[in-house]
Structure 1
Amino acid sequence: VFGGEECGTKFKCDPLGGTRMIPQSDALAEAVAQSNITVLSDFPLEVSAETIDKIPDIQERHDLIQSRYRIEDVKNAEYALEWGRLMHPPYPKLLRELDGAGYANILKHTSGINYQMPLVAVYNNPYTKRLETYPGVDLVAAANYYGVDMRKDISVDFLAGYIKIHNVKEGNSVLFDRETLQPIPIMAKPNEERTVTIPIDRSGQMLINFRGGRYCFPSYGLLEFLDQYDQQNNFVDNFNKKILLIAMYYATGVGTAKDVHLSPYGDMAGIEHHAHALNTILNQDFATRVPEAVDLIILVLIGLLMGFYQPRVPTWASFALAVILVATYVLTTLIFTFGEHSIIHVFPTAIFQIFTVLVAFIGFRALSEEENVKFIRNTFSKFVSQDVVEELLANPDSITLGGSKKELTVFFSDVRGFTTISEKLGPEELVQLLNEYLSEMTELIIDYRGTIDKYMGDAIMAFWGAPARNDDHAYYACVAAMAQVQALMKLQEMWSDRNIPVLDIGIGINTGPAVVGNMGSSRRMDYTLMGDTVNLGSRLEGITKTYGVRTCISEFTYERVKDRVYARELDLVRVKGKLEPVRIYELMGLVNSDDLENLKVSRQAQAKTKDE
């Protein structure tokens, strides 16, 4: 009866029983009339009115629908979004016998996922020339279940966003509690007004509170139903006092129409969408939306907080935030979706989106930080010890203007007679000679955890004790000085073999308080130190010429290392800039010569750290 040019008889078929000449349609109408159960029917509300002249008895059908099912108490219909253009109700004889009829459309969402059901629709009646409001089949079924008048006991306000079913019965006349024998309340959540309020949008759509995916509700194939009906006398009792939905389910076969729509739980037959919608109404388990303005405020605030937070925290804190966001997402989703109020909120979605952006940001940041670490290591390792590099990596805020007062040991070295030597060599030979000397001396300072401050021509300034803390800075400086003397002797042999002038050096070492830190301007700064301790160290390097020694240390350094070095007292001198005389010593050797190897940082280890 419901679709096709021929019905297997000599009569032409109207898909919805367009003529009284169809015997099957008449038989259906007579069966409904003789039945003692409530029978409802659905019909399409078409989005185009092009077929209006092709439907038999179309005006009579409209008149019957209007007189029986048009909702009278409607407010702000002019604000509703009109989407239906032509009602196509069942043919009049069947329509008169039905206990209710409503459209069964499922509107396609732009996302492709259906999560709403249109319960009411504003319809511009082509015969009355006015806006009228009609119910969907799910609202008709709910009204019949509650025992209310479809026309008078239902009110709609499109601007306020609700449908109200009034005058709901106190109890169910057919369902009783087995223990108390009292009627079971017909309302899942009773109230004094005996009113069920359904939230809708301006299209008349209600959010469906889905209870799961496919097959949440018991289902039977038509042939299976008829077969068991014939074989089991009590089979029909399974459907007593139940709402039974009859429609095409999951049809198979090539070319077969498939009434399947995508839901939040995956593909689902259209009848299942209606079952979930009806279940939402009868359980009064409505999902509601937070106003869009609130959603927008939440998104903006979260975005601003993330923008403020991210640049100010290390990567591990970002990972911690990501974990917190995942936990918050799961928790808020459970609360908002499955909680008492079933609120549809942007917050969980916003958290998930921000989490996705955060993961991408953390990945980018980790890669950037890795490149920055390599750059810092490769750049600074040429001038400072690996300890200094690690200090800079661990505390990047230390690379700012300013300094602090610390006790440390300062080191000065200078080449003796360099001016005379430079006059004997050509520019290329001089540069090669100086590079060989400076390269070896620099490596030794770095090997013993020293920091190269600067080069002043052929002179080197270095220090120990900052920025990486080293409580034994005086001894490390002395060990580095002795290592330089030994290395210089090997270089001198090499230079002699090449018949080029031999370099000799003087070293001055002093220990005491000095101000150390980044000095200069915001555009250019140097990590250096200043103070009387620095000045005295420089004077001691010059004194080595006077006393004919390679290494001279002050009494302040000597007091910290005297048990571990061999030293000879030279004199009590008053250097320029100091009022009090200072006792000076020649550093001659180490008590434990193994410290030359024991305290040395492996160059291979430093190279490996740079590569990492």
Structure 2
Amino acid sequence: MMWSKIKSQIWQWRGVLFAVPSVTALVIGLRLMGWLQLLELVTLDHFFQMRLSEPVDSRIVIVEINEADIRQQTQWPMTDAALASVLEQIKQQKPRAIGLDIYRDLPVNPGHQALVKVFASTPNIIGVQKVSDTIDSSAVNASPVLKQRHQIGSNDLPIDGDGRIRRGLLYVNLKNDEVLESFALKLALLYLKSEGITEKPSANNPNYLQLGKGIFPIFEANDGGYVNANAGSYQILINYRGRIQQFTKISLKQLQENRIPPDLMRDKVVLIGATAESLKDLFYTPYTSFFAGSERMAGVTIHANLVSQILSAAIDGRQQIQSFPDSLEYLWILSWSIAGATLCWIQRHNSYQKIRLPINVVLTSGTLVGSSFVAFLAGWWIPVVPSFLALAGSAIAVTQYIAESATGMRKTFGRYLTDEVVSNLLENPAGLKIGGDRRKVTLLFSDLRGFSAMSEQLSPEQVVTILNFYLGTMTEVINQYKGTINEFMGDGIFVIFGAPIHRPDDSERAIACAVAMQLAMQQVNEHNKKINLPILEMGIGINTGEVVAGNIGSQKRAQYTVIGSHVNLASRVETYTVGGQVLISENTLQDAHIKLHIGSQMQIQPKGIRKPINIYEVCGVGGQYNLFLPNDDGEMVTLTQPVLVEYVVLQGKQASGTAFEGELISLSEKVAQMRSLNSLEILNNLKLKLLNTELSTEEFIYAKVMKKSDVDEHTVTIRFTSVPPKAIAILESIVNSQKFHNS
């Protein structure tokens, strides 16, 4: 039994099970081979560019050396005396740290002793040293004075294969197992010392540096979109604050001419560095847009971003950029592969698949990119490109699988069965076998009120015209709510919700469908009016319960249908309706977890049912459907001159044979109050004849007793269920005449 269920599930999801493992394995293989790295890094760059600008970090001041500053100097590199003068001016403003991003390994006289004196008397000056050799540059020593005083930091920056800088260094491994702090970390530590924050290992991982609120995970070779990247020394992903505009900036000329506020640099980190094109200290970064030319960022700005990142993490708790472990990344890719395959698979029988599927794939892709971007804003770098390829690849694989399977069977059976029944045959390996299984369904029966009597007055061609448009309109509504039309029974429709495909909201959709069908009758009647055909009214009954659903019949001739007492009960409930009414059983009311607008309630005991049951009139359904029936019974007017009638009580489709007299004392187009000495019961069906009118003896009005009067036991309210055109004109004339008399 268990194996049979497993085989059934495997068959039902065979396309997904075929596509997901193969596509996921292919994408992960491409990822591990590094073929997706460049695309992923470009995606990360776009995330930086899409992110809203962060506030200016007022803790950092950049003294830039631009082309105009170079032209103003008597020589370049600027003399030691000029540099000493600049540093003295900065010292007077009492910053917490001064970062000199200018190589000063040799004297540039005159004034060398003055510069040495400034270096020796300023413990918060940090110089730079280039440690690594690259293809186009060599290592550069630091100032001997600053090196001797341990006031230097490495300004090396790891460069990715595409020439962009996305990573920074906290510590650099030197020869002989020595470690040198980076230029940015050295400056940040001087600032944080005044805040009482010093270096310590993280409690969760002693290999990670912790400063205040910030923990700095070490970059690994395969983090994020990287594959086998050089992860030497202590690297972190740079969480850029932005371009140079995100920092307080002054030019060297402004500083030398003393054109800055007196406290601009107090308690700040001051970085001095070149931004001039001619000095070639410019780099590609995530802000170098593919479409915006060759925008580059000065090295001093990159160091400012790193300092800002360290300070913001330590003091403000700003998130670092972290990545998933490999296992979670693979699971993430697998989940999007499942999403793409499932999206295509569950919509494979939708008639609008060619239109809706690309739209849904685009929306799902947007969800992927959007969720990854939101995660990036929260400090997580989740690979987008592999996930997108898994999503699109599995969708394409499933689409191809669907296109190559079941085409012939669909063409054969699609002419005779509904789409869902054909789908059930294809999805279930035992779908063609005779027999069925028990399942809970919601059953809807609809019927046109008085159509048999009306059709006697019409030609066969007119009857066919009416039925074709009516059934066509109702079919569109039923399909919209995913109902299965089991049978057209003349002017009646038998609809199943829950077979062959079960959905959790079957009863809710059935009720909403019924209300929508009643609302669609306005469209049907407007069409009938245009071609001078009668107005139609429909009643709908709904019941929910367990039935046997399957292929019922013989090996030569069978029909997919449902069998059981609940089918009969649904049919019986429909017989109690009047035109424009939707009645549901108590079973359906309890099964539908949605807000319903209930009108009247009554207790009935249909033929073949042992105990009385409650049925309810649905006037509207709320929630996501928000459908409500209009009250179009019209306003009843009291007649000064009652209308005499003769009526018989119908038993089933037959009259009882005994004629009784009565009189209509109040009247509207669809409802009337009738007084009669004969005792009538609620839901009695009546066949009336208006006396003393122009109606022929063959024209009758059909009505149903809706309620008894609380004041007069001989008075009942009746609802007309079928009225011939001449009778409609007479009733409207009586009502309008009475309204005119009352006015």
TM-score after normalising by structure 2: 0.36
Question: Which structure has the bigger radius of gyration?
Answer: 1
The one of the two structures with greater contact order (alpha-carbon pairs below 8 A, sep at least 6) is 2
TM-score, normalised on structure 1? 0.43
